[in-house]
Amino acid sequence: MKNIRFVRITFAIIVLLCHLTGGIGRAGMVSLVFDDGLESVYQYAFPILAKYAFPATVGIIANRVDVGDQDFMDENQLRELQKAGWEIASHSLTHKRPIDIPKFLAEEKCLLLRRVNGQRTLYDAKYKYEELAGLVENGRQLKERSSVKLVKSEPGSYYFDELIGEVTVHPFDPDSAEKQQIRAISYERELEESKNVLNALGFAVTTYITPHNYWTPEMSALSKRFYSQVADGGDDCNRKGATDRYWIKRYVVHANDPAESIIGLVKEHAIRENAWVVFCLHGIGSDLGWEPWDAAKLDQLAAFLKQKAVPVVTVDQGAKLWFDGKGKTGK
């Protein structure tokens, strides 16, 4: 009898230790990240996840907040998400890749502007890059417009004709153009200014979500100046001791992916391996956006996570748990 009692006590101690240390049978964790800040996330994903008391992270393209485009969430909707425990993260200023624009502030070149014939306020210049993230005039960002006609009537705006590689600018101050003081935005400015814009709106941004899931070692190193962690792509999970805080991996969820396949990734990695699984999603329950996912599939995934008691965290929360050891959920 003493031996049986000893075995029972020993087993109870082992179970308790496993529970406290996040050992045998303890699920890892899952993060749901919605890129681009599409309105369908607020309309469909938010109520679904609220039903299960799950938070999520939403990557916001800073220049698309409150521009009047109903495809994207506005400031009030973002505030509601934040109040409910969601994380507001930067998804850049204009959604460009670092290989498409100048990389660093030191590489930002002043446009060689010349006055447009017959126009008192317009200037133009050739621009060699295929994409133009934006323009700044003595620290003030100019607004991009869809035609020269609109630019003509709005100081502090520009139009970029990609076909011919030409920029038409209506500066705030014509003297800035005459002195060649208008610069093309670099990726370093994308990193910094996107955070500044969102911070100014009252969102305490700590996470950067890479546009197009595209990332480079030099940008990873640079991002440490502005952010606490960065999530990109890679279609992989994050394992203890083998994860870079500034290169957190995500699985991309595609429109045709059944919920069962996404649940399978959770079973394989979060539950069996105690890994941190981060999913990259876009629009929900709508045809808008890249690779939109059906709302019923999201509900099915959330129901499974709830049933299996898999911790669901924002990227910021996950990074604190994973890297700082605050309330560990995995091995």
pLDDT digit of tens for each residue in the chain (331 aa)? 444 444 344 334 333 333 433 443 357 999 999 999 999 999 999 999 999 999 999 999 999 998 778 899 999 999 999 999 999 999 999 999 999 999 999 999 999 999 999 999 999 999 988 789 999 999 899 999 999 999 999 999 999 998 999 999 999 999 999 999 999 999 999 999 999 999 999 999 999 999 999 999 999 999 999 999 999 999 999 999 999 999 999 999 999 999 999 999 999 999 999 999 999 999 999 998 999 999 999 999 999 999 999 999 999 999 999 999 864 443 3
> Mapping DSSP to helix (H, G, I), strand (E, B) and coil, where does residue 223 land?
helix
Cross-strand bridge partners of residue 207: 229
Query: Distance between alpha carbon 15 and the CA centroid of its chain, in Å?
Result: 38
- Of the candidates 141, 131, 139, which has an alpha carbon nearest to the alpha carbon of residue 169? 141
Q: What is the pLDDT of residue 242?
A: 93
Give the DSSP letter of residue 107: G
**What are residue 188's phi and psi, to 5 degrees?**
-60, -40
Angle at CA 275, nearest 5°, toward 274 and 281? 135
- Of the candidates 41, 25, 135, which has an alpha carbon nearest to the alpha carbon of residue 86? 41
Query: pTM (2 decimals)?
Result: 0.87
Give the DSSP letter of residue 179: T
Beta strands in the chain (DSSP E): 29-34, 57-60, 87-90, 114-115, 123-126, 135-137, 140-141, 143-144, 157-161, 166-170, 182-184, 207-209, 229-234, 248-252, 276-281
The HSE-up count of residue 97 (CA atoms within 13 Å, CB side) is 10
**What are residue 184's phi and psi, to 5 degrees?**
-85, 135
Q: How far apart are CA 55 and CA 38, in angstroms?
A: 17
Q: How far apart are CA 4 and CA 169, in angstroms?
A: 84
Q: Note whether 61 and 166 are within 8 A (CB).
A: no
What's the Cα-to-Cα distance from 84 to each of 54, 77, 314, rounded to whole Å? 9, 11, 12
Query: Distance between alpha carbon 167 and the CA centroid of its chain, in Å?
Result: 28
Q: What is the pLDDT of residue 129?
A: 81
Give the DSSP letter string of 264-314. Answer: HHIIIIIITS--EEEEEE--BSSS-SSS-B-HHHHHHHHHHHHHTT--B--
**What are residue 57's phi and psi, to 5 degrees?**
-115, 135
Find tokens 């998804």 and name the residue: 91
Q: Note whether 321 and 329 are within 8 A (CB).
A: yes
What's the Cα-to-Cα distance from 330 to each of 33, 183, 227, 241, 322, rounded to whole Å? 20, 47, 24, 11, 8
Cross-strand bridge partners of residue 57: 33, 87
Give the DSSP letter of residue 142: P
- Of the candidates 217, 274, 284, 282, which has an alpha carbon nearest to the alpha carbon of residue 252? 282
**What are residue 138's phi and psi, to 5 degrees?**
50, 45
In the chain, what are the helix, strand and coil shares in percent, each to the nearest 5? 35, 20, 45
Q: Note whether 32 and 49 are within 8 A (CB).
A: yes
Q: Which domains does the chain have, with CATH numbers?
A: 28-88+190-324 (3.20.20.370), 109-184 (no CATH)
